[in-house]
Structure 1
Protein backbone atom coordinates (compact mmCIF):
# COMPACT_ATOMS: atom_id res chain seq x y z
CA UNK A 1 0.00 0.00 0.00
CA UNK A 2 1.83 3.09 -1.26
CA UNK A 3 -1.16 5.33 -0.61
CA UNK A 4 -3.94 5.12 1.95
CA UNK A 5 -7.13 5.46 -0.06
CA UNK A 6 -9.75 7.52 1.73
CA UNK A 7 -13.51 7.51 1.26
CA UNK A 8 -15.98 10.26 2.06
CA UNK A 9 -17.48 8.00 4.72
CA UNK A 10 -14.14 8.08 6.62
CA UNK A 11 -14.46 11.81 7.40
CA UNK A 12 -15.73 12.86 10.81
CA UNK A 13 -14.78 16.49 10.12
CA UNK A 14 -13.64 18.49 7.10
CA UNK A 15 -9.98 17.55 7.66
CA UNK A 16 -10.19 14.48 9.92
CA UNK A 17 -10.69 10.80 9.11
CA UNK A 18 -11.03 7.67 11.21
CA UNK A 19 -9.98 4.35 9.66
CA UNK A 20 -10.91 1.04 11.32
CA UNK A 21 -11.07 -1.57 8.55
CA UNK A 22 -8.50 -3.61 6.59
CA UNK A 23 -6.60 -0.38 5.83
CA UNK A 24 -6.07 0.18 9.55
CA UNK A 25 -4.68 -3.32 10.02
CA UNK A 26 -2.36 -2.84 7.05
CA UNK A 27 -1.16 0.53 8.38
CA UNK A 28 -0.58 -0.94 11.83
CA UNK A 29 1.35 -3.93 10.50
CA UNK A 30 3.52 -2.30 7.84
CA UNK A 31 3.82 1.36 8.88
CA UNK A 32 3.92 0.86 12.66
CA UNK A 33 2.51 4.39 13.06
CA UNK A 34 3.25 6.71 15.95
CA UNK A 35 1.79 10.02 17.04
CA UNK A 36 2.43 12.88 14.56
CA UNK A 37 3.72 10.52 11.84
CA UNK A 38 2.77 11.57 8.31
CA UNK A 39 1.33 9.08 5.83
CA UNK A 40 0.53 9.49 2.14
CA UNK A 41 -3.23 9.61 1.59
CA UNK A 42 -5.64 10.31 -1.23
CA UNK A 43 -9.39 10.76 -1.52
CA UNK A 44 -11.14 8.42 -3.93
CA UNK A 45 -11.65 10.38 -7.18
CA UNK A 46 -10.00 13.35 -5.52
CA UNK A 47 -6.66 14.83 -4.54
CA UNK A 48 -3.58 13.35 -2.85
CA UNK A 49 -1.85 14.68 0.24
CA UNK A 50 -0.65 13.88 3.74
CA UNK A 51 -2.35 12.42 6.78
CA UNK A 52 -0.90 13.17 10.21
CA UNK A 53 -1.57 10.64 12.98
CA UNK A 54 -3.48 12.34 15.80
CA UNK A 55 -4.94 9.33 17.61
CA UNK A 56 -4.12 5.64 17.62
CA UNK A 57 -5.83 2.73 19.36
CA UNK A 58 -6.09 -1.03 18.96
CA UNK A 59 -9.19 -0.60 16.80
CA UNK A 60 -8.62 2.53 14.73
CA UNK A 61 -6.37 5.36 13.61
CA UNK A 62 -7.30 9.03 13.31
CA UNK A 63 -5.59 11.25 10.76
CA UNK A 64 -5.67 14.97 10.13
CA UNK A 65 -5.46 15.25 6.36
CA UNK A 66 -4.32 17.84 3.87
CA UNK A 67 -5.17 17.15 0.22
CA UNK A 68 -3.35 19.45 -2.21
CA UNK A 69 -1.94 17.46 -5.14
CA UNK A 70 -3.41 15.96 -8.28
CA UNK A 71 -3.18 12.17 -8.84
CA UNK A 72 -1.01 10.76 -11.63
CA UNK A 73 -2.25 11.35 -15.17
CA UNK A 74 -4.21 8.40 -16.60
CA UNK A 75 -3.15 6.43 -19.65
CA UNK A 76 -5.02 7.60 -22.77
CA UNK A 77 -6.31 4.05 -23.21
CA UNK A 78 -9.54 2.12 -23.47
CA UNK A 79 -8.86 -1.56 -22.73
CA UNK A 80 -11.17 -4.17 -24.25
CA UNK A 81 -10.50 -7.48 -22.57
CA UNK A 82 -12.10 -10.86 -23.21
CA UNK A 83 -13.28 -11.95 -19.76
CA UNK A 84 -10.48 -13.99 -18.10
CA UNK A 85 -11.00 -16.74 -15.56
CA UNK A 86 -11.79 -15.28 -12.12
CA UNK A 87 -8.36 -15.55 -10.47
CA UNK A 88 -6.67 -14.04 -13.50
CA UNK A 89 -9.33 -11.32 -13.65
CA UNK A 90 -8.49 -10.21 -10.11
CA UNK A 91 -4.78 -9.92 -10.87
CA UNK A 92 -5.37 -8.22 -14.20
CA UNK A 93 -7.73 -5.62 -12.76
CA UNK A 94 -5.19 -4.73 -10.10
CA UNK A 95 -2.36 -4.55 -12.65
CA UNK A 96 -4.08 -2.38 -15.24
CA UNK A 97 -5.44 -0.08 -12.55
CA UNK A 98 -1.95 0.42 -11.14
CA UNK A 99 -0.73 1.23 -14.67
CA UNK A 100 -3.30 4.01 -15.10
CA UNK A 101 -6.04 2.43 -17.23
CA UNK A 102 -9.38 4.15 -16.58
CA UNK A 103 -11.72 2.56 -19.12
CA UNK A 104 -12.08 -1.23 -19.08
CA UNK A 105 -14.55 -3.25 -21.14
CA UNK A 106 -14.90 -6.93 -20.23
CA UNK A 107 -16.40 -8.68 -23.23
CA UNK A 108 -17.51 -12.12 -24.30
CA UNK A 109 -15.61 -14.28 -26.78
CA UNK A 110 -16.01 -17.76 -28.21
CA UNK A 111 -13.27 -19.09 -25.90
CA UNK A 112 -14.63 -17.42 -22.76
CA UNK A 113 -16.20 -20.07 -20.54
CA UNK A 114 -19.87 -19.22 -19.88
CA UNK A 115 -19.37 -19.88 -16.15
CA UNK A 116 -17.01 -16.91 -15.89
CA UNK A 117 -19.95 -14.53 -16.26
CA UNK A 118 -21.56 -15.86 -13.07
CA UNK A 119 -18.47 -15.53 -10.88
CA UNK A 120 -18.86 -13.47 -7.68
CA UNK A 121 -15.70 -11.62 -8.75
CA UNK A 122 -17.83 -9.64 -11.22
CA UNK A 123 -20.05 -8.26 -8.47
CA UNK A 124 -19.50 -4.53 -8.08
CA UNK A 125 -18.04 -4.68 -4.57
CA UNK A 126 -15.60 -7.40 -5.61
CA UNK A 127 -14.50 -5.54 -8.75
CA UNK A 128 -14.05 -2.36 -6.73
CA UNK A 129 -11.92 -4.22 -4.18
CA UNK A 130 -9.41 -5.10 -6.92
CA UNK A 131 -9.50 -1.56 -8.30
CA UNK A 132 -8.84 -0.09 -4.85
CA UNK A 133 -5.82 -2.36 -4.41
CA UNK A 134 -4.47 -1.22 -7.76
CA UNK A 135 -4.94 2.44 -6.83
CA UNK A 136 -3.21 1.95 -3.48
CA UNK A 137 -0.29 0.24 -5.18
CA UNK A 138 0.16 3.04 -7.72
CA UNK A 139 -0.51 6.01 -5.44
CA UNK A 140 -3.55 6.95 -7.52
CA UNK A 141 -7.12 7.94 -6.63
CA UNK A 142 -9.07 7.98 -9.91
CA UNK A 143 -11.32 4.92 -9.99
CA UNK A 144 -11.50 3.15 -13.38
CA UNK A 145 -14.83 2.43 -15.01
CA UNK A 146 -15.51 -1.24 -15.71
CA UNK A 147 -18.15 -2.14 -18.30
CA UNK A 148 -19.54 -5.65 -18.89
CA UNK A 149 -20.56 -6.70 -22.39
CA UNK A 150 -21.85 -10.26 -22.68
CA UNK A 151 -22.55 -10.26 -26.44
CA UNK A 152 -19.59 -9.92 -28.77
CA UNK A 153 -21.20 -9.08 -32.10
CA UNK A 154 -23.60 -6.33 -30.90
CA UNK A 155 -20.77 -4.74 -28.94
CA UNK A 156 -18.40 -4.72 -31.92
CA UNK A 157 -21.00 -3.53 -34.39
CA UNK A 158 -22.97 -1.06 -32.27
CA UNK A 159 -20.55 0.40 -29.70
CA UNK A 160 -17.02 0.05 -31.00
CA UNK A 161 -17.23 2.59 -33.85
CA UNK A 162 -17.89 5.37 -31.35
CA UNK A 163 -15.34 4.05 -28.83
CA UNK A 164 -12.45 3.97 -31.28
CA UNK A 165 -13.18 7.32 -32.92
CA UNK A 166 -10.00 9.45 -33.02
CA UNK A 167 -7.95 6.68 -31.41
CA UNK A 168 -5.28 4.19 -32.40
CA UNK A 169 -7.30 0.93 -32.50
CA UNK A 170 -5.24 -2.25 -32.01
CA UNK A 171 -6.03 -5.91 -31.41
CA UNK A 172 -3.36 -8.13 -29.90
CA UNK A 173 -3.10 -11.18 -32.14
CA UNK A 174 -0.04 -13.42 -32.54
CA UNK A 175 -0.70 -14.48 -36.15
CA UNK A 176 -0.67 -12.53 -39.42
CA UNK A 177 -0.12 -9.32 -37.49
CA UNK A 178 2.31 -6.41 -37.57
CA UNK A 179 4.90 -5.81 -34.87
CA UNK A 180 3.69 -3.67 -31.99
CA UNK A 181 4.04 0.02 -32.94
CA UNK A 182 6.45 2.32 -31.05
CA UNK A 183 5.39 4.00 -27.84
CA UNK A 184 3.29 7.12 -28.24
CA UNK A 185 1.25 9.09 -25.75
CA UNK A 186 -1.88 9.11 -27.90
CA UNK A 187 -5.46 7.93 -27.53
CA UNK A 188 -5.51 4.17 -27.98
CA UNK A 189 -8.09 1.40 -27.91
CA UNK A 190 -6.56 -2.01 -27.27
CA UNK A 191 -8.41 -5.33 -27.58
CA UNK A 192 -6.94 -8.41 -25.92
CA UNK A 193 -8.43 -11.86 -26.35
CA UNK A 194 -8.88 -14.78 -23.96
CA UNK A 195 -6.40 -17.58 -23.31
CA UNK A 196 -5.89 -19.07 -26.77
CA UNK A 197 -6.73 -15.76 -28.45
CA UNK A 198 -9.68 -14.49 -30.43
CA UNK A 199 -10.98 -16.87 -33.11
CA UNK A 200 -10.51 -15.77 -36.76
CA UNK A 201 -14.13 -14.58 -37.02
CA UNK A 202 -13.66 -12.28 -34.02
CA UNK A 203 -10.39 -10.88 -35.35
CA UNK A 204 -12.07 -10.20 -38.71
CA UNK A 205 -14.97 -8.41 -37.01
CA UNK A 206 -12.54 -6.24 -35.07
CA UNK A 207 -10.56 -5.48 -38.20
CA UNK A 208 -13.76 -4.60 -40.04
CA UNK A 209 -14.48 -2.16 -37.22
CA UNK A 210 -11.11 -0.48 -37.76
CA UNK A 211 -8.65 -2.41 -35.59
CA UNK A 212 -5.13 -3.28 -36.73
CA UNK A 213 -3.71 -6.64 -35.58
CA UNK A 214 -0.38 -6.45 -33.74
CA UNK A 215 1.94 -8.86 -31.95
CA UNK A 216 4.76 -8.51 -29.40
CA UNK A 217 7.00 -11.30 -30.64
CA UNK A 218 7.08 -15.07 -31.07
CA UNK A 219 6.43 -15.94 -27.43
CA UNK A 220 2.81 -16.53 -26.43
CA UNK A 221 2.09 -14.97 -23.03
CA UNK A 222 -0.73 -15.42 -20.58
CA UNK A 223 -3.26 -12.61 -20.61
CA UNK A 224 -2.16 -11.30 -17.19
CA UNK A 225 1.40 -10.99 -18.54
CA UNK A 226 0.57 -9.90 -22.08
CA UNK A 227 -1.50 -6.90 -21.02
CA UNK A 228 1.21 -5.11 -18.97
CA UNK A 229 3.80 -5.92 -21.66
CA UNK A 230 1.56 -4.38 -24.31
CA UNK A 231 0.95 -1.28 -22.23
CA UNK A 232 4.65 -0.81 -21.57
CA UNK A 233 5.34 -1.12 -25.31
CA UNK A 234 2.54 1.20 -26.43
CA UNK A 235 3.09 4.11 -24.04
CA UNK A 236 6.21 6.02 -22.94
CA UNK A 237 7.50 5.21 -19.49
Structure 2
Protein backbone atom coordinates (compact mmCIF):
# COMPACT_ATOMS: atom_id res chain seq x y z
CA UNK A 1 0.00 0.00 0.00
CA UNK A 2 1.86 3.06 -1.27
CA UNK A 3 -1.04 5.42 -0.54
CA UNK A 4 -3.61 5.65 2.25
CA UNK A 5 -6.88 6.43 0.47
CA UNK A 6 -9.44 8.35 2.48
CA UNK A 7 -13.18 8.60 1.83
CA UNK A 8 -15.68 11.18 2.98
CA UNK A 9 -16.95 8.88 5.74
CA UNK A 10 -13.46 8.73 7.30
CA UNK A 11 -13.53 12.44 8.19
CA UNK A 12 -14.80 13.54 11.58
CA UNK A 13 -13.99 17.19 10.87
CA UNK A 14 -12.86 18.92 7.69
CA UNK A 15 -9.22 17.88 8.15
CA UNK A 16 -9.36 15.09 10.74
CA UNK A 17 -9.81 11.47 9.69
CA UNK A 18 -10.13 8.36 11.87
CA UNK A 19 -9.38 4.87 10.49
CA UNK A 20 -10.25 1.52 12.09
CA UNK A 21 -10.13 -0.94 9.18
CA UNK A 22 -7.37 -2.60 7.10
CA UNK A 23 -5.80 0.81 6.45
CA UNK A 24 -5.35 1.24 10.19
CA UNK A 25 -3.81 -2.22 10.44
CA UNK A 26 -1.45 -1.36 7.59
CA UNK A 27 -0.41 1.90 9.22
CA UNK A 28 0.24 0.14 12.51
CA UNK A 29 1.84 -3.10 11.28
CA UNK A 30 3.59 -2.15 8.02
CA UNK A 31 4.38 1.53 8.47
CA UNK A 32 4.81 0.98 12.21
CA UNK A 33 3.75 4.59 12.56
CA UNK A 34 4.02 6.57 15.75
CA UNK A 35 2.38 9.81 16.83
CA UNK A 36 3.92 12.67 14.88
CA UNK A 37 4.80 10.55 11.83
CA UNK A 38 3.75 11.75 8.37
CA UNK A 39 2.03 9.45 5.85
CA UNK A 40 1.20 9.82 2.17
CA UNK A 41 -2.57 10.04 1.73
CA UNK A 42 -5.16 10.96 -0.85
CA UNK A 43 -8.86 11.76 -0.88
CA UNK A 44 -10.81 9.35 -3.09
CA UNK A 45 -11.61 11.19 -6.34
CA UNK A 46 -9.79 14.20 -4.91
CA UNK A 47 -6.27 15.47 -4.25
CA UNK A 48 -3.12 13.84 -2.93
CA UNK A 49 -1.27 15.05 0.14
CA UNK A 50 0.01 14.05 3.54
CA UNK A 51 -1.31 13.32 6.99
CA UNK A 52 0.23 13.55 10.43
CA UNK A 53 -0.58 10.81 12.94
CA UNK A 54 -2.04 12.68 15.93
CA UNK A 55 -3.34 9.69 17.87
CA UNK A 56 -2.75 5.91 17.69
CA UNK A 57 -4.44 3.25 19.81
CA UNK A 58 -5.02 -0.50 19.59
CA UNK A 59 -8.20 0.10 17.61
CA UNK A 60 -7.81 3.29 15.56
CA UNK A 61 -5.55 5.97 14.18
CA UNK A 62 -6.37 9.66 13.94
CA UNK A 63 -4.86 11.69 11.10
CA UNK A 64 -4.54 15.43 10.50
CA UNK A 65 -4.90 15.65 6.72
CA UNK A 66 -3.70 18.17 4.14
CA UNK A 67 -4.30 17.40 0.44
CA UNK A 68 -3.39 19.98 -2.21
CA UNK A 69 -1.63 17.99 -4.96
CA UNK A 70 -3.44 16.89 -8.12
CA UNK A 71 -3.43 13.14 -8.91
CA UNK A 72 -1.50 11.86 -11.95
CA UNK A 73 -3.22 12.29 -15.34
CA UNK A 74 -5.45 9.50 -16.58
CA UNK A 75 -4.39 7.30 -19.46
CA UNK A 76 -6.38 8.47 -22.53
CA UNK A 77 -7.88 5.02 -23.02
CA UNK A 78 -11.22 3.28 -23.03
CA UNK A 79 -10.52 -0.40 -22.39
CA UNK A 80 -13.03 -2.96 -23.62
CA UNK A 81 -12.40 -6.46 -22.28
CA UNK A 82 -14.26 -9.68 -22.85
CA UNK A 83 -15.05 -10.82 -19.32
CA UNK A 84 -12.17 -12.99 -18.07
CA UNK A 85 -12.45 -15.69 -15.43
CA UNK A 86 -12.92 -14.21 -11.96
CA UNK A 87 -9.40 -14.63 -10.55
CA UNK A 88 -7.88 -13.20 -13.72
CA UNK A 89 -10.37 -10.32 -13.66
CA UNK A 90 -9.23 -9.31 -10.18
CA UNK A 91 -5.57 -9.22 -11.17
CA UNK A 92 -6.25 -7.44 -14.45
CA UNK A 93 -8.40 -4.74 -12.85
CA UNK A 94 -5.68 -3.99 -10.32
CA UNK A 95 -3.06 -3.82 -13.08
CA UNK A 96 -4.95 -1.53 -15.44
CA UNK A 97 -6.03 0.73 -12.59
CA UNK A 98 -2.43 1.11 -11.51
CA UNK A 99 -1.54 2.05 -15.10
CA UNK A 100 -4.08 4.88 -15.19
CA UNK A 101 -7.07 3.41 -17.06
CA UNK A 102 -10.30 5.16 -16.05
CA UNK A 103 -12.93 3.74 -18.43
CA UNK A 104 -13.43 -0.04 -18.52
CA UNK A 105 -16.13 -2.00 -20.34
CA UNK A 106 -16.55 -5.68 -19.52
CA UNK A 107 -18.40 -7.35 -22.37
CA UNK A 108 -19.65 -10.75 -23.39
CA UNK A 109 -18.14 -12.88 -26.16
CA UNK A 110 -18.62 -16.35 -27.57
CA UNK A 111 -15.72 -17.78 -25.56
CA UNK A 112 -16.76 -16.17 -22.28
CA UNK A 113 -18.12 -18.82 -19.91
CA UNK A 114 -21.69 -17.92 -18.95
CA UNK A 115 -20.96 -18.70 -15.30
CA UNK A 116 -18.54 -15.76 -15.12
CA UNK A 117 -21.45 -13.32 -15.24
CA UNK A 118 -22.87 -14.69 -11.98
CA UNK A 119 -19.56 -14.49 -10.13
CA UNK A 120 -19.52 -12.54 -6.83
CA UNK A 121 -16.47 -10.73 -8.23
CA UNK A 122 -18.85 -8.65 -10.37
CA UNK A 123 -20.67 -7.28 -7.34
CA UNK A 124 -20.07 -3.58 -6.88
CA UNK A 125 -18.17 -3.93 -3.58
CA UNK A 126 -15.85 -6.58 -5.01
CA UNK A 127 -15.07 -4.58 -8.15
CA UNK A 128 -14.48 -1.48 -6.04
CA UNK A 129 -12.03 -3.40 -3.84
CA UNK A 130 -9.84 -4.30 -6.84
CA UNK A 131 -9.88 -0.72 -8.11
CA UNK A 132 -8.89 0.64 -4.70
CA UNK A 133 -5.98 -1.81 -4.50
CA UNK A 134 -4.79 -0.57 -7.88
CA UNK A 135 -5.04 3.07 -6.79
CA UNK A 136 -3.15 2.38 -3.58
CA UNK A 137 -0.39 0.73 -5.57
CA UNK A 138 0.15 3.55 -8.07
CA UNK A 139 -0.56 6.54 -5.77
CA UNK A 140 -3.67 7.77 -7.54
CA UNK A 141 -7.07 8.86 -6.25
CA UNK A 142 -9.37 8.84 -9.30
CA UNK A 143 -11.58 5.76 -9.27
CA UNK A 144 -12.13 4.13 -12.68
CA UNK A 145 -15.62 3.52 -14.03
CA UNK A 146 -16.63 -0.05 -14.90
CA UNK A 147 -19.49 -0.73 -17.31
CA UNK A 148 -20.98 -4.24 -17.66
CA UNK A 149 -22.40 -5.27 -21.03
CA UNK A 150 -23.79 -8.81 -21.15
CA UNK A 151 -24.86 -8.72 -24.82
CA UNK A 152 -22.10 -8.46 -27.40
CA UNK A 153 -23.98 -7.46 -30.54
CA UNK A 154 -26.13 -4.62 -29.08
CA UNK A 155 -23.07 -3.13 -27.41
CA UNK A 156 -20.90 -3.29 -30.54
CA UNK A 157 -23.62 -2.00 -32.86
CA UNK A 158 -25.31 0.59 -30.64
CA UNK A 159 -22.61 1.93 -28.30
CA UNK A 160 -19.15 1.13 -29.58
CA UNK A 161 -19.15 3.36 -32.71
CA UNK A 162 -19.71 6.45 -30.56
CA UNK A 163 -17.13 5.32 -27.98
CA UNK A 164 -14.53 4.70 -30.69
CA UNK A 165 -15.26 7.84 -32.70
CA UNK A 166 -12.30 10.24 -32.99
CA UNK A 167 -9.97 7.81 -31.20
CA UNK A 168 -7.23 5.42 -32.24
CA UNK A 169 -9.59 2.44 -32.28
CA UNK A 170 -8.00 -1.02 -32.04
CA UNK A 171 -8.83 -4.64 -31.36
CA UNK A 172 -6.02 -6.91 -30.21
CA UNK A 173 -6.10 -9.97 -32.44
CA UNK A 174 -3.20 -12.34 -33.20
CA UNK A 175 -4.34 -13.32 -36.72
CA UNK A 176 -4.68 -11.34 -39.98
CA UNK A 177 -3.81 -8.11 -38.21
CA UNK A 178 -1.42 -5.18 -38.52
CA UNK A 179 1.52 -4.71 -36.12
CA UNK A 180 0.89 -2.68 -32.99
CA UNK A 181 1.19 1.06 -33.71
CA UNK A 182 3.90 3.11 -32.07
CA UNK A 183 3.40 4.54 -28.60
CA UNK A 184 1.51 7.82 -28.59
CA UNK A 185 -0.35 9.84 -25.98
CA UNK A 186 -3.59 10.07 -27.97
CA UNK A 187 -7.18 9.04 -27.18
CA UNK A 188 -7.47 5.31 -27.79
CA UNK A 189 -10.16 2.66 -27.70
CA UNK A 190 -8.81 -0.87 -27.22
CA UNK A 191 -10.76 -4.14 -27.29
CA UNK A 192 -9.21 -7.30 -25.88
CA UNK A 193 -10.77 -10.72 -26.28
CA UNK A 194 -11.18 -13.64 -23.89
CA UNK A 195 -8.86 -16.62 -23.51
CA UNK A 196 -8.71 -18.02 -27.05
CA UNK A 197 -9.51 -14.63 -28.55
CA UNK A 198 -12.55 -13.20 -30.30
CA UNK A 199 -14.10 -15.46 -32.94
CA UNK A 200 -14.11 -14.34 -36.59
CA UNK A 201 -17.69 -13.00 -36.44
CA UNK A 202 -16.84 -10.86 -33.40
CA UNK A 203 -13.71 -9.43 -35.02
CA UNK A 204 -15.73 -8.49 -38.10
CA UNK A 205 -18.36 -6.76 -35.97
CA UNK A 206 -15.64 -4.84 -34.14
CA UNK A 207 -14.14 -3.81 -37.46
CA UNK A 208 -17.55 -2.61 -38.62
CA UNK A 209 -17.68 -0.44 -35.49
CA UNK A 210 -14.43 1.22 -36.55
CA UNK A 211 -11.77 -0.83 -34.78
CA UNK A 212 -8.60 -1.95 -36.58
CA UNK A 213 -7.18 -5.38 -35.81
CA UNK A 214 -3.58 -5.35 -34.58
CA UNK A 215 -1.15 -7.74 -32.90
CA UNK A 216 1.88 -7.50 -30.62
CA UNK A 217 3.78 -10.47 -32.01
CA UNK A 218 3.53 -14.21 -32.54
CA UNK A 219 3.21 -15.19 -28.88
CA UNK A 220 -0.26 -15.80 -27.45
CA UNK A 221 -0.46 -14.24 -23.98
CA UNK A 222 -2.91 -14.61 -21.14
CA UNK A 223 -5.28 -11.67 -20.74
CA UNK A 224 -3.69 -10.57 -17.46
CA UNK A 225 -0.32 -10.41 -19.26
CA UNK A 226 -1.51 -9.18 -22.65
CA UNK A 227 -3.35 -6.11 -21.37
CA UNK A 228 -0.39 -4.50 -19.51
CA UNK A 229 1.88 -5.34 -22.47
CA UNK A 230 -0.56 -3.67 -24.85
CA UNK A 231 -0.77 -0.54 -22.71
CA UNK A 232 3.00 -0.34 -22.46
CA UNK A 233 3.29 -0.65 -26.25
CA UNK A 234 0.52 1.85 -27.07
CA UNK A 235 1.45 4.62 -24.62
CA UNK A 236 4.75 6.19 -23.50
CA UNK A 237 4.21 4.98 -19.94
Q: What is the alpha-carbon distance in structure 1 between the residues aligned to residue 36 and residue 234 of structure 2?
A: 43
Partner residue of 2:207?
207
Q: Secondary structure at the match of 1:12?
A: coil
- Counterpart CA distance in 1 for 2:196 and 2:121 is 22
The match for 2:104 is 104
Pairwise mapping of residues 214-225 of structure 1 onto structure 2 (< 5 A)? 214-225=214-225
CA distance in 2, matches of 1:58, 1:106: 41
Q: Distance in 2 between matches of 1:26 and 1:129?
A: 16
Please give the per-residue CA displacement for 1:164-213, whole angstroms capped at 9, x wherever unaligned: 11100000000011110000000000000000000000000001111111
Shift of 1:236: 0.6
- 2:23 matched residue in structure 1: 23
1:86 matched to 2:86? The reply is yes
Q: TM-score, normalised on structure 1?
A: 0.99
1:28 to partner: Cα distance:
1.3
1:26-65 CA deviation, whole Å, 9 max, x = no partner? 1211100011110000000000000100000011111000
- Whether 1:125 aligns to 2:87 is no
Paired with 2:23 and 2:156, the residues of 1 have a C-alpha distance of 40
- Deviation at residue 155 of structure 1 after TM alignment: 0.2
The equivalent of 1:189 in structure 2 is 189
Give yes or no for the alignment of 1:51 onto 2:74: no
Distance 1:36 1:28 in 2: 13
Q: Which residue of 1 aligns with 2:64?
A: 64
Q: 1:13 is matched with which residue? A: 13
State the alpha-carbon separation in 2 of the partners of residues 153 and 201 from structure 1.
Answer: 10
Unaligned segments of structure 1, at least 5 residues: none
Q: Describe the superposition over 1:51-94 as per-residue Cα deviations: whole angstroms up to 9, x where unpaired.
A: 10000001111100000000000000000000000000000010
Post-superposition shift, 1:128? Answer: 0.1
Q: Is 1:234 matched with 2:234?
A: yes
In structure 2, what is the Cα distance between the partners aligned to 1:71 and 1:153? 36
* Aligned counterparts of 1:159 and 1:151: Cα–Cα separation in 2: 11
**How many matched pairs?**
237
- Equivalent residue runs for 1:145-160 within 5 Å: 145-160=145-160
Alignment root-mean-square deviation, CA: 0.5
Q: Taking structure 2 as the reference length, what is the TM-score of the superposition? A: 0.99
Deviating beyond 3 angstroms after TM superposition, the runs of 4 or more aligned structure 1 residues are none
Question: In the aligned structure 1, how far is the partner of 2:9 from the partner of 2:58?
Answer: 20
Q: Write the deviation string for residues 95-137 of structure 1: whole angstroms up to 9, x where unpaired.
A: 0000000000000000000000000000000000000000000
**SS of equivalent residue, structure 2 residue 176:** coil
Matched, 1:144 2:134: no
Could you tell me which runs of 5 or more consecutive residues in structure 2 were left unpaired when the two chains were aligned. none
